Amino acid sequence: MKKIKSMSYEELEEYIVSHGEKRFRAKQVFEWLHKGVRSFDEMRNLPAALREKLKTDADPEVIETETVQISKKDGTRKYLFRLSDGQMVESVLMKYEYGNTICISTQAGCRMGCAFCASCKGGLIRNLTAGEILDQVLAVSADIGRRVDNVVVMGVGEPFDNYEELKSFIRLIHDSRGFNMSWRSITVSTCGLVPYIKRFAEDFPQVTLAVSLHAPNEKIRNELMPVNRKYDYSKLLSACREYVRITNKRITFEYILIEGKNDSVKQAAELAERLKGILCHINLIPFNGVEGKSFAAAKRRAAEEFRDVLKKNGFEATIRRELGSDIDGACGQLRSRKNQSQN
């Protein structure tokens, strides 16, 4: 079965023409897919014969909503989606003053092994296709009755560990004949796969890059993020400087604040020294508790003091608003609970 939602517009044209159809039928199919239709029968302006051909030869890569949790505090929505092979991934819809932002997944599971994250429980199962990544956006847009405004690729999985499908997804969601999302409304996060940072800068200079640091030095980062043992802090920051040089765009550094681990004023000063000279924004994230992990969130006062040290050193730093604290808000948490209940 052809993964039809993962196809670029040009690939879809070739596919449709190969079935003896007129080229303009590709435009119709592409538009229907990007409106989020769930079956070929819904593509009402296609000839019945073409719809039947598609049903026997093409996979629309539709994901099914397994569970939706809605926060009573702030309206955050946590989605658990079931893929066609039964694997599950998560998406989170967050409401901000500047619009709705969806955080989406690129893999079922993850092999990065970060100590504070629920996504890596069970390791990596498989990569998602570009169509499955896109369908998270389409399904959530349909659920809330309006298109989402921003996409953050920061859910289950490491996006750069599935780079080719990530590339296809970004180009698909930006295509003006489909969802037509602007480059600047897309953010991609990485835990630090250094070889892909320069590639990403060259492929998508207008898309925002977020890099997960979560530590002020090598020792703590090695403990929290095994990826640092392969691509150490110095190599990572060198790649980040190169990214800024190529794109002339600031980079976002994500930093989860864990009580007693990486949240002291001294560690804030150490972080400021390491990042000196890099055009960046530092996003401080309160740790969202994960079952089975012994970490605790830094106190609000500690977070504010950490931020103030960074600001005194000339950095733009903010503390991310806590969202979804009354639901399974942490990445991978809802998926993990569902997997445990089935075992």
Residue 329: φ, ψ to 5°: -75, -25
What span, in angstroms and rounded, lies between the C-alpha atoms of 90 and 100? 16
pLDDT for 112: 96
**pTM check: above 0.95:** no
The structural domains of the chain, ordered by start, are: 2-59 (1.10.150.530), 64-342 (3.20.20.70)
What dihedral do alpha carbons 280, 286, 290, 294 form, nearest 10°? 100
pLDDT for 333: 55
Q: Say yes or no to pLDDT of 343 above 60.
A: no
Q: Give residue-wise pLDDT tens across range 211-250.
A: 999 999 999 999 999 999 999 999 999 999 999 999 999 9
Q: Say yes or no to pLDDT of 339 above 70.
A: no
Q: Say yes or no to pLDDT of 184 above 80.
A: yes
Q: Say yes or no to pLDDT of 292 above 70.
A: no
pLDDT for 47: 96
pLDDT band at 290 (very low <50, low <70, confident <90, very high): low
> What are the residue numbers of the active site?
90, 331
Helix (H) or strand (E) holding 80: strand 77-82
**Residue that has been written with the tokens 């399974």 in this structure:** 328
Q: Give residue-wise pLDDT tens across range 295-331.
A: 899 999 999 999 999 999 999 999 987 666 666 655 5
Helix (H) or strand (E) holding 88: strand 88-96
**Residue that has been written with the tokens 């997804």 in this structure:** 169
Three-state DSSP at 231 gives coil
Three-state DSSP at 110 gives coil
Q: Give residue-wise pLDDT tens across range 140-155.
A: 999 999 999 999 999 9
Are the CB atoms for 189 and 225 separated by under 8 Å? no
pLDDT band at 96 (very low <50, low <70, confident <90, very high): confident
- Here the tokens at position 278 are 């890099």
